Every structure is written in structure tokens, then in C-alpha cells.
Amino acid sequence: MKVGVAKEIGPNERRVAVTPDSVRQIKAAGYEVLFEAGAGAGAYLGDRAYEEAGAAIVTGAADLWSRSEIVLKIQPPLPNRSLNAHEADLLNEGAVLLCMLRPLSHIDTVRILARRRVTSFSMDMMPRTTRAQRMDALSSMSTIAGYKAVLIAADMLPRLFPMLVTAAGTIAPSRVLIVGAGVAGLQAIATARRIGAVVEAYDVRPAVKEEVESLGATFVGPQLKESEAQDAQGYAKPLSAEAQRQGQELLESRIPHADVVITTARVPGLPAPRLIPAAAVARMKPGSVIVDLAADMGGNCELTQPGETVVRHNVTIHGPVRLASTVPIHATQMYSRNITAFLLHLTKEGTLHLDWSDDITSATCVTRDGQIVHGPTRTRAEGAATAAAG
């Protein structure tokens, strides 16, 4: 079977789905690999390295997509302006697509995939289990984002991070508040501690207290039972009104003490919780910095503009999207290992073997046999269709 590695066409996207090392692994598993010329350039990976690894270099997207039976990508299919076609329409009928599809945010694309009878898998729906850990691209990208968010904050902050004792006096360390102590938040805590900040972390899930403290930060959070704040997969779930009020009060009492606030709070499938209202920003010290890693889901801060840096109430608010793409070499290396492990998971005896009784295979599948099979996406697609008809 032919596996195609497509060039990413999204704005500011510098990653590519697989490295030459992964090409070797995919070939050894029994596939042919087609690689779109120039697809690795943003990550400093030349066509030559892919050729040496055994890939056939294909010039142009039209050729790559039409010759591939399986397409590996990072971003969901997008409209390709130079070809005047949507990438999802370039796929062969019945082809297989592996990417970070984020189906709930790309309903129209999912509809095209279903119409074209594409079997699509969303890397961002990987179950949070030990068995799936090697394929967990969301964690890989969140790790990079958490690290980079701290560097952005340190660069923008008109203060130093570490405590310095100098002949010109003692400089107090900066205070960093991390909101949301999941994968990105924990990496942000570790990075901020490493460059000398005093760190506090806020989360609604009591389970993270120990992890936060083991990284040398102080935990703040509302007094909730684990079952009130966390679902069976370990994700945060929507809180009761009382828990929300309690948590919000606590969080807002900590914000004015911080020089930097890094927010990472998400609830799967829903817009990011609004945790930092404009009034709380107005109470921050002049020159403070907010980096909102939930910007792509609407932002945790009311004043965040996705993809932009704005100054409000003398506070710089950064709303980065695709932060992992700003570290393209390592982001590519990590994603490549994740997606290759997933492809090999779907492979038996040198060919694709889709076992729908397997929890990883079934949990990540969005479309197959002309249907949207991911329940929440199907419900949203049907809801949108009904609203349009009404």
C-alpha cells in the first residue's frame, strides 16, 4: 500500500508529519512511501534525506494525494488555493487519513470525508491509556507548548525571572501563575522553575496537587472531590455553579500577585473555560504578561485575541496558536514517532488491518463507510444541518 506524506499548507505551519527515520520504519512494515517535494523544508528536512530513507519524492499536492491510499498529515485537510480544491476532495474515494483532525471544530471537512468514504482517524482523540501513550500526539505538542509559553513570557516580561543578588542590590524573583496543570501546565511549571521563577499552579482537579508540588510549585484550587472535577479519562469536566464560583474567587485572589499568568485550561469538546475576566486583568501589575494557550479554543482570558499579542490595562496578552510549530524540529520528531506508532498499530502483516474491536482504533475513528462514526461529531453535524434547514 502507498502511504503519502503531504506538505502542510496551513499558515505558519513548519512541521511535517514524518521524519526520514520514520519513513524507514514505515517501509520496513511493508508500505511504499510517497513524500511531497519540499514538505520537510520548514523543519530543515530536505527531500534528499527522505529519498535516502526510501521514499519516492512526488512533485505537487495533486499527484501526492491522488496516488496515496493512506495520507499522513498534521493539520486537518484545508482548502488548497493553488489547486482551487479542498484537500479532503483530493483524497481518493475509500482512502485512509491520519491527522489531528479536531473533528468538532471542522464539521464541514468531516462531512466531505464521509461523502468521499474516507476512513479518517483523529490523532487528537487518542485514549489517555498506557497502551496508547506512544501515539499521544496531543501530549507531545502540549509539552512543547508549555515550554515555549514560558520562554515567550520571559521574553516579554519587563522583569527578570530569577532572584539575583548583585552589587546593585537584590532582584526579587518573578511570580508565575499557571492555570491548568495538565500536560502543558506541568511542563510550564518545570520550565518556569528552571529559570528561577516562584510558581503557583491552579487547577480544578485535586489529583494534580501532588504533581504540582513535586515540581516545586504551590498548588491552589477549590476543595472539590475528584469525581466532581474529573471524568473517567482523567480530563476536567464542567463544574457545578457553586464549584465554579468557589474556584473563580480563589483564582482571582491570586491573579494580582502574579507577574506572569500562563493559562492552559481546557474541557474536551467545549470552548475553553473563561477564567480571567477583563476586570482581573485590570487588577494586575503594570507590565505583567498573560500567555493564553487556550487561545485556539476561544481563550481562558476574556481579552485574548487568538494568534495576536495585545496590550490591555498595561498588561501584554499573548494568544499563540500552533505554538508547537515554532519548534519545528522537535515537534516534527515527536509527532512523527506518535503517528508512525499509530500507523503500525493499524498494520498487520505488511498491510492495513482495521480491528474495530480495538479501543484505540475505534476511539480515534471519525468517518468510515460513508458515515460519521464519532458520536459527538455526528450529533454536532446533525444539529448544524437541522439549524441550517430551519
Using the rule CB under 6 A, which residue among 70, 181, 220, 315 binds ligand NAD?
181
Measured CA to CA in angstroms, residue 200 lies from 55, 91, 244, 263, 293 at distances of: 48, 47, 19, 12, 17
**How many beta carbons lie within 10 A of that of residue 212, not counting itself?**
23
Which one of the listed residues 14, 75, 116, 136 is annotated catalytic? 136
Q: Find the shortest distance in angstroms from Cβ 31 to ligand NAD.
A: 26
Q: Binding mask 267-296 vs ligand NAD (x if CB under 6 A, - otherwise)?
A: xx----x-x---------------------
Using the rule CB under 6 A, which residue among 33, 96, 265, 327 binds ligand NAD?
265
Judged by CB under 6 A, does residue 182 bind ligand NAD?
Answer: yes
Q: Which is nearer to ligand NAD, 113 or 293 (CB)?
A: 293
Q: What is the DSSP letter of 80?
A: E
Dihedral, CA of residue 200, residue 203, residue 206 and residue 209, to nearest 10: -30
For residue 332, give the nearest of 71, 89, 19 by alpha carbon. Answer: 19
Judged by CB under 6 A, does residue 205 bind ligand NAD?
Answer: yes
The answer to whether residue 235 is catalytic is yes
The answer to whether residue 139 is catalytic is yes
**How many beta carbons lie within 10 A of that of residue 199, not counting itself?**
26
Q: Which is nearer to ligand NAD, 67 or 128 (CB)?
A: 128
What 3-state class would DSSP assign to 70? strand
Using the rule CB under 6 A, which residue among 7, 14, 15, 266 binds ligand NAD?
266
Q: Find the shortest distance in angstroms from Cβ 180 to ligand NAD.
A: 3
Which one of the listed residues 128, 159, 193, 194 is annotated catalytic? 128
Q: Which residue has the cell 518556569?
A: 192
The answer to whether residue 246 is catalytic is no
Q: What is the β-pairing status of strands 79-80 and 85-86?
A: antiparallel
Judged by CB under 6 A, does residue 190 bind ligand NAD?
Answer: no
Q: Find the shortest distance in angstroms from Cβ 230 to ligand NAD.
A: 7
Judged by CB under 6 A, does residue 261 bind ligand NAD?
Answer: no
Three-state SS annotation for 200-241 = EEECCCHHHHHHHHHCCCEEECCCCCHHHHECCCCCECCCCH
Contact segment (CB under 6 A) with ligand NAD among 151-159, 183-191, 277-285, 369-377 equals 183-191
Contact segment (CB under 6 A) with ligand NAD among 11-19, 59-67, 177-185, 278-286 equals 177-185
Using the rule CB under 6 A, which residue among 234, 271, 350, 370 binds ligand NAD?
234
CA distance 202 to 209: 9
Residues 86-145 that bind ligand NAD (CB under 6 A): 128-129, 133, 136, 139, 142
For residue 128, give the nearest of 286, 330, 334, 360 by alpha carbon. Answer: 360
* Contact of 342 with 123, CB cutoff 8 Å: yes
Using the rule CB under 6 A, which residue among 8, 200, 203, 296 binds ligand NAD?
203
What residue is closest to ligand NAD based on CB?
Answer: 182
Using the rule CB under 6 A, which residue among 40, 76, 180, 320 binds ligand NAD?
180
Q: What is the CA radius of gyration of the chain?
A: 22
Measured CA to CA in angstroms, residue 240 lies from 221, 227, 301, 356 at distances of: 15, 12, 20, 36
**For 136-285, where are the alpha helices, taking DSSP H only?**
137-156, 183-194, 209-214, 226-229, 241-254, 278-282
CA distance 348 to 203: 42
Which one of the listed residues 133, 214, 233, 371 is annotated catalytic? 133
Using the rule CB under 6 A, which residue among 6, 23, 43, 183 binds ligand NAD?
183
Judged by CB under 6 A, does residue 299 bind ligand NAD?
Answer: no
Residues that bind ligand NAD (CB under 6 A): 128-129, 133, 136, 139, 142, 179-185, 202-205, 208, 234-236, 264-268, 273, 275
Q: Which active-site residues does the annotation give?
A: 128, 133, 136, 139, 235
